[in-house]
Amino acid sequence: MLILLLFVLGLVFLILEIFVPGGILGAIGVILLVAGIFVAADTFQQGVIWSLIFLVVLGVILGLSFRFPWTRRLWQRLSLKESQSNQRGYVAPKPDYANYVGREGVALSLLRPAGVADFDGARMDVVTEGGFINNGTKVYIIAVEGTRIIVRELGLADSGEEAAASDQQAEPAELDKSDAFDKRYEKY
């Protein structure tokens, strides 16, 4: 009875995964099916062999389901058909923000802590170190982390070029880029 219950629950969870995607229900379903195989097996070794056979067969069936026209239509109904295009207003982030470190600009919106700033005519989404900065305040870029641009309010005594120059001097040559960023950003 336990074996049948494990198999039925495993199949139910796999079917639920189709309607509630996320991977957790499917993983639970596979675990329940494998547990059912282990309970039905006479020895541990036999359970491992049958589980491996089950997983290989499941993978082959899933792979073949993308090939056959009648199952391909099911996958097409479950998949997203819309694409993001420049004509519809979607713009990919620019990966070359690293060369902006040290540049000065003006906050175009209230940065609390995220907002928009202008750097030499280029509008960019920026974040502060955690504090609020009023719009119209001069800021400079202290670090870039992927597409995340971190700014600080430009004070009377410091400027973006001086901060960038001191950051480069403080950076040891033997560190890779991620370690250099962590060491440079710790002092802020």
Structure tokens at 93: 């982030």
Sign of the four-CA dihedral 170, 172, 173, 175: negative
CA atoms of 78 and 26, how far apart (whole Å): 15
Give the mean model confidence (pLDDT) for residues 32-50: 88
CA atoms of 83 and 175, how far apart (whole Å): 40
What are 56-114's pLDDT values in tens digits?
988 888 788 777 777 777 777 777 777 777 777 777 666 678 888 999 999 999 998 89
What pLDDT band is residue 171 in, cutting at 50, 70 and 90? Answer: very low
Residues composing the chain: 188
- Those residues whose C-beta lies under 8 Å from the C-beta of residue 4, and which sit 6 or more positions away, are none
Question: Is 15 a residue whose pLDDT tops 80?
Answer: yes
- Angstrom CA distances, 115 to 68, 122, 149, 161, stand at 49, 14, 10, 22
CA atoms of 50 and 41, how far apart (whole Å): 8
Sign of the four-CA dihedral 112, 114, 118, 120: positive
Task: Confirm or reject CATH 2.40.50.140 for domain 97-186, answering yes or no.
Answer: yes
- Domain extent listing, the chain: 2-78, 97-186
